[in-house]
Amino acid sequence: MNLEEKLQVLSDAFGVAGFEDEVREVIRQMAAPYVDRCEVDPLGNLICTRGEGEAVMVDAHMDEVGFMVRWIEKDGFLRLTALGGWDDRILLGHRLVLKTRSGAKLQGVIGATPPHILSEAERNKVVPLDDLFVDVGARNREEAEALGVRIGDPATIHYPFVRLREGYVTGKAFDDRAGCLVALEALRLLQGVKLPYKLVVNFAVFEEGGLRGAKAAAYRIAPKLALALEGTIGADMPGVPEAKQPVRLGQGPAITLADRSITVNPRLARFLEKVAEQKGIRYQYKLPAYGSTDAGAIHTERGGIVAGVVSVPCRYIHSPVSTLWLSDLEATVHLVTEFLNQAGEFLATL
């Protein structure tokens, strides 16, 4: 598979925060040829290891924003609660995929009251998630339950991965399946390269609910150095001034200096810059201090871990129609691979 095909497989896989089983198995199969072993910890993190020695940790979270069924109405409609951060403005009128306890996937739609029977004030109001409902074609609670629906079932808005034009694609969960693919490609490209340290790649659960998986994995792995990989906030679009655009598409990988969860050690940030400049890789900075990443949880474990963040620019994250340029994804793979090639040099200074 080429890079686009791999991203499609990852994007289309189901992996709502706390319910990452399907995407974890996809990633395990993709990673297995390039590592010595993969194991799943008690939280569900997939931890893949190659080599021996001092640990360098790479982290990319598998989970995506989604929902959980919180109630089944007597007339068969479902009510949802959020798993991760959704913008209520985008939820109305979307198709949804719900996964039952048996593993079956049901289609549904997030219903909308027809505008013809709304007041002007109601038509201009953002409908909060608590007021929305899902229609799965059940005429009553018993029919919904007969379809396999139970309180606690996960769901997400899912539109299939599509190429919009050559090199420019759209799909769900680029935050952070793009980061997962960067990690997988780095493992592939480093196959056969002897590294002076143990490389441990953590594909984390439940980033979208408090960075929980990475925190446990960092404690288990106990690295001296870590790098979190993300798909981050591309906001180069109409109505957003340049000073408020965290990253821009087409400008290469984004190096984080500070966000809401971490201020990156300046020595590590300079090292990433040096690697990029040595290899002629175009890069940008993620403007401080938007968002948070698994690095925020990793760097406070085990008495402190030097951690940084490199991200793939993606527009419309936390929606079912994220977009990215494959050239940015390729450049991020290049930077992360070269960083890992040289990480022993930085590790020796810690």
Residues with catalytic roles: 207
For 166, other C-beta atoms within 10 Å of its C-beta total 8
Q: Assign 3-class secondary structure to the chain.
A: CCHHHHHHHHHHCCCECCCCHHHHHHHHHHHHHHCCEEEECCCCCEEEEECCCCEEEEEEECCECEEEEEEECCCCCEEEEEECCCCHHHCCCCEEEEECCCCCEEEEEECCCCHHHCCHHHHCCCCCHHHCCEECCCCCHHHHHHCCCCCCCEEEECCCCEEEECCEEEECCHHHHHHHHHHHHHHHHCCCCCCCCEEEEEEECCHHHCCHHHHHHHHHHCCCEEEEEEEEEECCCCCCCHHHCCECCCCCCEEECECCCCECCHHHHHHHHHHHHHCCCCCEEECCCCCCCCHHHHCCCCCCCEEEEEEEEEECCCCCCEEEEHHHHHHHHHHHHHHHHHHHHHHCCC
Query: Residue 256 in contact with residue 292, Cβ under 8 Å?
Result: no
Among 282, 217, 275, which Cα is nearest to 57's?
A: 217
Is beta strand 225-234 parallel, antiparallel or unpaired with respect to 306-315? parallel
